[in-house]
Amino acid sequence: MQIEEHQWFSPSLQRDMAFKVYGHWGAPVLAFPCSLGRYYDYEGMGMIDAITEFIDDGVIKLFCVDSVDAESWYNFAAPPAERNARHEAYDAYIVKEVVPFIRHHCNQPEVRVMANGCSMGAYHAMNAFLKHPDLFAGTIALSGLYRLDHLEFGLGPADIPAVYFNSPLNYLPGLVHQWFLDWYRRSDIVACVGQGAWENEALEDTRQLDRLFREKRIPAWVDFWGTDVDHDWPWWHQQMCYFLDYLYRRDS
């Protein structure tokens, strides 16, 4: 497998940022790490091994980025607006630096990138896609939380105005702009969650997300796996193989 590691000083974040690339060819997939995670976690937690055939066969090319969660949503010492601003800087890093790099690396200057992640990575993937559907072809979001007023983030309903545009279950109900809706309706949206251990909050958020997509007539595959399916890597490995096979091999 062809593997590359890249690092540069990010003007958006004013710090060094690193990421890894797996594969030689294929549809570009941008993977966000779990909470407080690192760009090498997909490799360390077995995801690369689990989806090796898709990478080696040139079905996908995977780009695994770093997070700044400790400086944004998990920086409990900072007020909500400051945490939101740091996330917006991260969003700018992804949009202005990483996506152009991916397009250049794939020699496809207008390609839309698939956003992917597990747990907190699913939040990042879904939020990035919803905010920039012209850049992202869709999302494979596994076991995500999709609103920020969870105890997980130390935020409550009173904090939502300061973080509103990064809390999908808060901004989606009022989103009526046709430009966004048109892009969503021609994208591949997958949101999956189990119903086993440690999935309760993700399960509830995914149900709400499903309801909103249906109300807005946005085609999405929202998949609820069984009561034996836990919030853990072995299940995410299986889910990734399942959805990659559907998205990229269904017509082959």
- What pLDDT was estimated at residue 34? 96
- Indicate the number of domains in the chain: 1
Tell me if 149 is assigned to some domain. yes
pTM of the predicted model over 0.95: yes
Strand intervals (E) in 79-233: 113-118, 136-142, 188-193, 221-224
Could you tell me the CATH number of the domain that includes residue 55?
3.40.50.1820
Tell me if 156 is assigned to some domain. yes
Q: Which residues pair with 222 in a beta bridge?
A: 191
Average pLDDT over residues 10-35: 97
> Closest by alpha carbon to 56, among 111, 116, 114, 3?
3
- What pLDDT was estimated at residue 251? 56
**Bigger pLDDT: 165 or 249?**
165
Cα 208 to chain centroid distance, Å, stands at 17
> Closest by alpha carbon to 234, among 208, 198, 210?
198
Angle (CA) 209-213-217 rounded to 5° is: 170
Average pLDDT over residues 186-212: 98
Q: What is the mean pLDDT of the chain?
A: 97
Q: Are strands 136-142 and 113-118 parallel, antiparallel or unpaired?
A: parallel
Angle (CA) 27-108-181 rounded to 5° is: 70
- The answer on pLDDT for 178 being more than 70 is yes
> Using CA atoms in the order 96, 162, 35, 68, what is the torsion angle rounded to 10 degrees?
40
- The answer on pLDDT for 252 being more than 80 is no
Contacts of 79 (CB under 8 A, 6+ apart): 162
Tell me if 241 is assigned to some domain. yes
Tell me if 80 is assigned to some domain. yes
- What pLDDT was estimated at residue 249? 78
What would the pLDDT profile of 53-88 be if each residue is shown by its tens digit?
999 999 999 999 999 999 999 999 999 999 999 999
Q: Which residues pair with 62 in a beta bridge?
A: 22, 29
> Does residue 20 contact residue 64 with C-beta atoms inside 8 Å?
yes
| DSSP summary character for residue 190 | E
d(CA 171, CA 36): 24
- The answer on pLDDT for 250 being more than 90 is no
| DSSP summary character for residue 143 | S
Tell me if 252 is assigned to some domain. no
pLDDT band at 170 (very low <50, low <70, confident <90, very high): very high
Residue in the block written with tokens 């990035």: 128
Domain range spanning residue 143? 3-247
- The answer on pLDDT for 194 being more than 70 is yes
d(CA 45, CA 41): 6
